[in-house]
Amino acid sequence: MVLHSLPGRLRLRIETKLPSANIEAWFRSIPGIYSASYTPITKSLLLYYDEQFQPHLFLEMLKERKRESKKAKQDLSIKKRVSLISLCAVLFCTHWMMTKMAAPAFYMTLLNRIMGAVVLLLSLPTIKNGLRGMVKERKFNPDFLTMSSLIACLYLNQSASALVIYIMSTASELLTDMTTVKTKAHLQSLLHLEAPYAWKILEDDTVSKVSVDDVSVEDIVKVYQGERIPVDGFVLNGHAVIDESAITGEYMPKEKTVQDEVYAGSICQSGEITLCVTKTGRETALGRMIQLIENAYSSKAPIQEYANKIAEKMVGVSFALTFITYLFTRNLNRALSMLVIDFVCGIKLSTAAAFSAAIGKAAKKGVLIKNGSYVEQLANVETFVFDKTGTMTEGKPYVEHMECFHDFTAEEVLQKAALLEQTSPHPLAYAIIEEAKKRNIPLVSRLAHEKVNVVTGKGLYGIIEEREVHVGSLRYLEEEGIITEHYIHLSPTYSVYVAIDGYLAGAFSIQDRIRTGMKHTIKQLRLLGVQKVVMLTGDEQKNAEKVARQLQLDDYCAHMLPEEKVRYVENEKKRTTIAMVGDGMNDAPALTKAHIGITLGGKRTDLAVEASDIVVSKDDPYVLTELVDLSKETLCTVKQNVLATLFINGAAILLGSLGIISPVAGAAVHNLATIGVVLNSMKILAKEEKQGGTFVYDSSRYTRENPAASTNAAKPLLI
């Protein structure tokens, strides 16, 4: 990590346990670096370099080495576990064969001692963690239970039992590691989307190749054909075809020209463009995606925490059963069966693997889940609340009709409205701007010297060419004191009004198309147990009613301000588990109040992304049904694993206490059960995807209390 950078000087933060002298010597050996000083307390490394040294290439090399080192450690860990399991398996098979061949006692004793020494040596980390838990935390932990069972086996001269315990527990951990590596593969693919350098245009108009870390907001960069875009920004000049599939999920390349936004990680397939940088590093859309996935992997769902607590409590139960069994039977073998069979491994490993697999599979689909707890909550959602514009509709509206008043011309009204709307990400603004372009009305590139105020959920106000301009709803214009009562006969389809210098100047009838697949998505959500689907919109009553009727929604609300959306969500939360789906700035407050906030589509705003719990990069609404189905499958898998672990291990404990099975057989049953539930979790990743954009659900898996809700006619709510 770069802490500070100046010409000729670089300060880095390096986490390492190596001696300072070794670190400084290694960095001084790099050509161009003549001084290196490492401070272990602050983990800070200060470098001085000459003119020939290229810091951006050096930093990129360090990043690549770190990634390679991390991957090498993961691969080495998996290979090491496989090798140890193989070694122990060979020893166990040798012991079994010598027992069957009735080998001399001397050789059997020697082999038993070798096996005992191997188990003790390989189990040192487990023994260390078990003792640490007893000394520091003053409680039994799973490692202490495993340690106790191993030592008990060796004490009773049952090294084969100890070997079986080690083999099975290591195999379970190996499967969990393999699941984690597989689910993190998507994160690694995102990391490779980060461009290491950028072509920066300097003040003297020369183009210089620099590290992407040296690019700042408002810098100007050039992107050539075939290159990966290193930053987020908007096009200043040029024309290109951009592949944004890795970021937005849209497989069709897009044409980008002046004023269009582009994202880091996208590929310039053809053409050249010059960009003005708006975001760099972890602030870009790609950077936030990486950060969200990294955070999600480290989080735990409530059911996962609950499962872990159950598992830890069962450690004490195992010791209690051991003591009770020995007290009543005075048989060490039966008592040992209580130690070698525990509930911890199966519950903890399988639960962690299930949630890790779910987050990884969702990320592969372009869905970023910020925390594992949201997987659990989504499975229990009963009410879905949707924003309309840009969420239920395509978010690409068009101007169907416009009307002018007070002798204002269409060109004048359209130009003023479009100039003001350039600052707004709202889809209705897009329609006005596109209409202006269609009519070849000239628009300046930026309103750098004009005053623009955003009235959230209502409209915009600005000074354009020394004239006051209001753009927004009829309600907003009336609040601003603009006379509109003479025009109440206007068509109810008008949704955007323009006032110039205090006079009503024009009105736009803007229509939007319902997203392809939205109607089918809502039907599938109901089959998955969703009881109620509601639409909240700031649009006019007639437009909202039309959409609600077409989609057969249960309820809808029109003329909704952001604070009214919040009130509705808060009221619904008292009665049911609610998920809010939106994409705009005015949806952000409601997204934070819902149990689950979801942003949908490539046109989502930064504020909505920050406020939401789940980010769907694609514009495909089918992903919502896949996500709900995935969450239900994950929760179902966790419950299956817990029940299977409790039942199988409970049965093994009972048989062991009665002396029906030996400790070796008990250990085998316990660890095979653990492997089985971990494999059951891995099926989430292995499950085949449906092709062709449709998803088939087994509705018999889920029940609904009110199946008639899917055919309910849309009913307006009174605000």
Task: Enter the tokens of residue 328.
Answer: 């009543």
Task: Enter the tokens of residue 169.
Answer: 């527990």
CB count within 10 Å of CB 377 equals 20
Q: Where are the beta strands (DSSP E) in 50-87?
A: none
d(CA 610, CA 608): 5
Q: Which is nearest to 500 in space by CA: 535, 455, 470? A: 470
Q: Which is nearest to 609 in space by CA: 626, 593, 595, 592? A: 592
Task: Enter the tokens of residue 287.
Answer: 């950077």
Backbone angles phi, psi at 576, to 5 degrees: -155, 165
C-alpha dihedral sign at 393, 394, 395, 399: negative
CA distances to 304, 404, 624, 638 from 378, in Å: 15, 48, 10, 15
Amino acid sitting at position 600: L
Active-site residue, 387 included: yes
d(CA 221, CA 274): 6
Which position has the token pair 């379970």? 172
Task: Enter the tokens of residue 696.
Answer: 């088939």
CA distances to 126, 177, 178 from 79, in Å: 19, 11, 11
Of 143, 232, 243, 387, the active-site residue reads 387
Q: Which is nearest to 586 in space by CA: 292, 389, 368? A: 389
CB count within 10 Å of CB 390 equals 28
Reduce the DSSP state of residue 31 to 3 states and report it: coil
- What is the layout of strands, in order, in the sheet containing 596-600? 367-369, 614-616, 596-600, 578-582, 383-387, 532-536, 555-557, 715-716
d(CA 463, CA 451): 5
Contact (CB, 8 A) for 625 and 528: yes
Residues annotated as catalytic are 387
